[in-house]
Amino acid sequence: MLESLSVLKFKFPWRSYQHTLLKHFDSHISDHHFHVIAPPGSGKTILGIEILRRLGKKTLVLAPTLTIRNQWESRLQEFFAKNSSFKNFSFDIKSPSDVTFSTYQSLHAFYKSFEDKEDYFKFFEKHQIETVVLDEAHHLKSAWWTCLMALKNRNSFFTVALTATPPYDSSRTELTKYFTLCGEVDDEIAVPDLVKENDLSPHQDFVYFSKPNDLEINFIVDYRRKIAQFQDDLLQDETFIVFLQNHRFYKNPKTHLDAIYKSTSYFSSVLIFLNACGIAIEQEKLEILGFYKDESIEFPELNLEWLEILLQNLLVTDREQLIEDEHYLSTLEKRLRKLNVFERNQVNFVGEQLLYKSLAYSPSKLKSIVDIVSAESASLGTNLSCVILTDYIRKEFLNTPFSDIETINKIGVLPIFQYVKNYCTHNEDLAVLTGSVVIIHKSILNAFAEIEPLHNFSFVALDHDEAFLEVSPKSKVEKSIVEILTQLFENGTIKVLIGTKSLLGEGWDAPSINSLILASFVGSFVSSNQMRGRAIRKDADKPNKTGNVWHLACVDPTATDGGREVDILKRRFEAFVGVTNTTIPFISNGFDRLNFPETILVDDISELNNQTLEKASQRPLITKKWQVSIGSGTKLTKQVKLLHLGEKPFETQKQVYFFDVVRFFVAELSLTIIWFYFEFILEGVQLIISRGFSYFIYAFLGAFIFRFGYKLYKAVSLYLRYGYLHKRIRKIGLTILDTLNALKFLNTNIQNIEVVAQRVNKGDVVCSLVGANNYENALFSKALIEVLDAIDSPRYLIIKTNLFRKRLKTENFYPVPEIFGNKKENALVFKKYWTKYLGRNKLVFTRQVEGRRLLLKARLFHVYNAFKEVSKEVTVWK
């Protein structure tokens, strides 16, 4: 160990969750990686310093910003060094010391400065840097990854990765790179642990909905109408129909089997479109899909998702193969571009970019912000500490007169400022803080002067409101504008602060925030979680603080689920753990915990918002819910939830096992049989007397078969295909658990692990491991989701089949999870345990011709769920 690091020592007792994490330090670091997920307020930086101290090697600490970089040095001096006397550090990556603090940008620039990259690697060898600490490691999905991965592949390092939110919403490629560099997650500090230890404040997320203005509604309705008309026209377009009928896949499918098996959704979209046109699909084409002769197929409806797949392939992916039809395809492309559904080589009928942009920056949200600030001010009074974060400044609205406020058509810092200033009372405690625009009320000048002399700044009154002053420094001052306004906000002089996410969203520390309004719509849920973390920090001066976090959503009037904005919020909420709004509260992630109705219509907005404002005002109740919920559990556990998609008539069910209808059908059939039995007995007395008992029996059996034969056949078929769903899910879970154990993925003794599956509200089924650690839970959840979700392209399939099932056409197809499908011997282990729990099956390798044929058939069996969320991973405190 370096002598300079050996003298460092943490000056205070470790919090219980920190102590637990550090207790397993040796086992975690054994693979030269220590990857920790820890929310804001958990002492990530302190943990990182303790880890680098224990490793005792020369260390490079990398942070995303200069502010965070500087925090590392100050935390080391304050919490580890005697009298802040640690000297063996550097901020210059070109002149490293025992501990070097830098940024990802600096390392990337340093890397690019070497023409010969060999010199870059030798530099680290020369300076004997053996530990690299990656703070806020989620940033690594950008270009900064390259210089770090190159270094890791060449030099041997201990990698310590710290993050509040891994970039789970990134592409699979980016996520793979992230975990390759950082290693698998070793441990996670849970938000409930922090609230329990009084290190984070009780808090709740709230969603405030808004209705688009008339212009936006007309735009959306007109957009949808034009697309619907295009779809109708295309279904009647003889030229397009003939074009598809002459497509090589449709005209000569047997000649192009390899291409069809590689692009099954493309081939399916051709068939689905032609079927929607009323064209009968020949049996030979269905046999290519793996269906038996005379087997009837219920084709899915030609929805916009299928039309997207068809046109995406025709206009982009497969275009080079259709060169003879280029003139026609160019004409088709122009039609789509005119509709604004084809941009950057992407067909999109949902309007993800066009409509989302329109709704995300809808000025209707400005009124939502006014409502929230007014309600929070009425609830908290002088204790209000509200921050509003957004993406853009919009300087063109700096001097908008009151008479023109209603003409503001964009959301941003200055539009929000104008609305709050003019529509909220007591606006003298309002301020704006961005990198280029700073505004304060003249009434706080004396408080400002107590921190920095006024003569060091210029103060210019706004054109249409002289009470507000734009502030800028005249020269270099001791304290920056950010520091001054932060101090004024912390001491309560400023009560509402409007700023940009880029300046205040990450690294900015203001623990007094008790109301945060997220008017930011750029970026992933990683940045959303970072911003949210500003409001849930504990405030030492206000021990009873409760943080309200507000999310804004503009509802799409043409969508019953709220539309694209609500959908994005739902995905972001997967990263947020909090207390539910249910009668009996518990701690979970996901949007469902807010207990909104599944259908969110424009007409319901006012009532939903009133309910939300009422809940937000009940801060003591939020604290009580946290206390009750924390007491009911000990740790966060991952569960897989199989979503109840609704029951369809049996004839249209081509899904594999997604509807637990058996028990209800059997109960209905049993009651009907009992009624029939008594009715027939009562009527049969005369029949026994006149014809004899044997005739009565034959008549009974004949009538029974006539009335119930088909229903019995249906019941048997349903049970063979679906079974009792929660029991079957548990058996699949046991199969996965035993396979993980056999292949030595488990560290915990399998005797201490239990698979639990049960039905919950609305018919959903949840399945989880009890007794497993975080890593084992993650492996189990990922594998189970792969088995349950619509089939993509697994290397191996499990087919539950026998002669009886073939005759009843109830074969089931399941993908072998990727973790077991990488090698045949691993897939065979999975098959072994599948046989143990779920009966006879056949293992099929899908990278051969017969396997591809069956894979195509399996995908078509899942076709009704291709565009639905079938299952999802939820995190629950248990």
Residue range 19-57, pLDDT digits in tens? 988 988 888 888 899 999 888 778 889 999 999 999 999
Q: Which of 454-458, 460-464, 811-815 has the lowest mean pLDDT?
A: 811-815
**C-alpha span between 705 and 702 (Å, rounded):** 5
**C-alpha span between 602 and 45 (Å, rounded):** 45
Question: CA 431, 437, 443 angle in degrees (round to 5)?
Answer: 35
Q: How confident is the model at residue 505, as a pLDDT?
A: 63
- Inform me whether the pLDDT recorded for 683 exceeds 70: no
Contact between residue 729 and residue 757 where contact means Cβ atoms under 8 Å apart: yes
Mean pLDDT of 480-502: 93
Question: Mean pLDDT highest for which of 482-486, 673-677, 709-713?
Answer: 482-486
- Inform me whether the pLDDT recorded for 712 exceeds 70: no
pLDDT confidence band for 680 (50 / 70 / 90): very low
3-189 folds as Rossmann fold (3.40.50)
**C-alpha span between 130 and 364 (Å, rounded):** 53
Mean pLDDT of 542-560: 91
**C-alpha span between 521 and 519 (Å, rounded):** 7
**DSSP three-state, residue 129:** strand
- Inform me whether the pLDDT recorded for 699 exceeds 60: no
pLDDT confidence band for 861 (50 / 70 / 90): low
Q: Which of 251-265, 453-467, 679-693 has the lowest mean pLDDT?
A: 679-693
Mean pLDDT of 815-835: 94
Contact between residue 589 and residue 576 where contact means Cβ atoms under 8 Å apart: yes
Q: How confident is the model at residue 226, as a pLDDT?
A: 93
**C-alpha span between 507 and 533 (Å, rounded):** 10
Q: How confident is the model at residue 174, as a pLDDT?
A: 73
Q: Which of 205-209, 267-271, 495-499, 518-522 has the lowest mean pLDDT?
A: 518-522
Q: Show Cβ contacts of residue 480 under 8 Å, excluding neighbours closer than 6 positions.
A: 473
Mean pLDDT of 602-614: 95
Q: How confident is the model at residue 847, as a pLDDT?
A: 83
Cα 803 to Cα 641, 651, 800, 846: the distances in Å are 32, 22, 11, 22
| pLDDT tens for each residue of 359-411 | 888 899 999 999 999 999 999 999 999 999 998 999 999 999 999 998 898 89
- Inform me whether the pLDDT recorded for 694 exceeds 70: no
| pLDDT tens for each residue of 135-155 | 987 766 566 788 888 888 888
Q: Which of 437-446, 457-466, 473-482, 520-529 has the lowest mean pLDDT?
A: 520-529
Q: How confident is the model at residue 802, as a pLDDT?
A: 54
**C-alpha span between 483 and 441 (Å, rounded):** 17
Question: CA 664, 670, 676 angle in degrees (round to 5)?
Answer: 140
Identify the residue with better confidence: 420 or 637: 420
| pLDDT tens for each residue of 629-653 | 998 777 778 788 877 654 432 222 2
Q: How confident is the model at residue 278, as a pLDDT?
A: 92
Identify the residue with better confidence: 351 or 270: 270
| pLDDT tens for each residue of 154-196 | 888 899 999 877 776 566 677 778 888 888 788 888 889 889 8
Q: What is the CATH number of domain 203-213+358-628?
A: 3.40.50.300
Q: How confident is the model at residue 791, as a pLDDT?
A: 81
**C-alpha span between 513 and 234 (Å, rounded):** 55
- Report the candidate in 389, 359, 388, 108 with the shortest Cα–Cα distance to residue 209: 359
Question: CA 681, 687, 693 angle in degrees (round to 5)?
Answer: 80
**Residue 388 neighbours by CB distance under 10 Å:** 25
Average pLDDT, the chain: 84
61 sits in which H/E element: strand 58-63
Percent of the chain with pLDDT over 90: 47
Q: Please, what is the end-to-end C-alpha distance for the chain in angstroms? A: 41
Identify the residue with better confidence: 684 or 225: 225
Which amino acid does the sequence have at 259?
A: A
| pLDDT tens for each residue of 281-314 | 887 777 776 666 666 677 888 988 899 999 999 9
pTM of this prediction?
0.78
**DSSP three-state, residue 441:** strand
Residue 93, both tokens? 């990556």
Q: Which of 645-649, 805-809, 835-839 has the lowest mean pLDDT?
A: 645-649
Mean pLDDT of 736-743: 96
Q: How confident is the model at residue 40, as a pLDDT?
A: 75
For the chain, the maximum distance between any two Cα atoms, rounded to a whole number of angstroms, is: 119
- Inform me whether the pLDDT recorded for 720 exceeds 50: no
| pLDDT tens for each residue of 107-117 | 999 999 998 98
**DSSP three-state, residue 545:** coil
**Residue 532 neighbours by CB distance under 10 Å:** 27
Q: How confident is the model at residue 860, as a pLDDT?
A: 64
β-pairing, 796-800 vs 812-815, is antiparallel
Residue 525, both tokens? 């849920």
Percent of the chain with pLDDT over 70: 83
Q: How confident is the model at residue 119, as a pLDDT?
A: 93
Q: How confident is the model at residue 26, as a pLDDT?
A: 86
Contact between residue 642 and residue 725 where contact means Cβ atoms under 8 Å apart: yes
pLDDT confidence band for 220 (50 / 70 / 90): confident
Contact between residue 291 and residue 647 where contact means Cβ atoms under 8 Å apart: no
Q: How confident is the model at residue 665, as a pLDDT?
A: 46
Q: How confident is the model at residue 502, as a pLDDT?
A: 78
β-pairing, 465-473 vs 342-343, is unpaired
Contact between residue 412 and residue 520 where contact means Cβ atoms under 8 Å apart: no
* CATH 3.40.50.300 boundaries in the chain: 3-189, 203-213+358-628
Q: Which of 631-645, 714-728, 776-790, 819-833 has the lowest mean pLDDT?
A: 714-728
Quote the distance between the C-alpha of residue 605 and its chain's center. Answer: 24
- Inform me whether the pLDDT recorded for 506 exceeds 80: no
| pLDDT tens for each residue of 568-596 | 888 888 878 899 998 889 999 889 899 99
pLDDT confidence band for 655 (50 / 70 / 90): very low
Q: How confident is the model at residue 723, as a pLDDT?
A: 46
pLDDT confidence band for 540 (50 / 70 / 90): confident
**C-alpha span between 122 and 53 (Å, rounded):** 24
**Residue 640 neighbours by CB distance under 10 Å:** 26
Q: How confident is the model at residue 647, as a pLDDT?
A: 41
Q: How confident is the model at residue 443, as a pLDDT?
A: 96
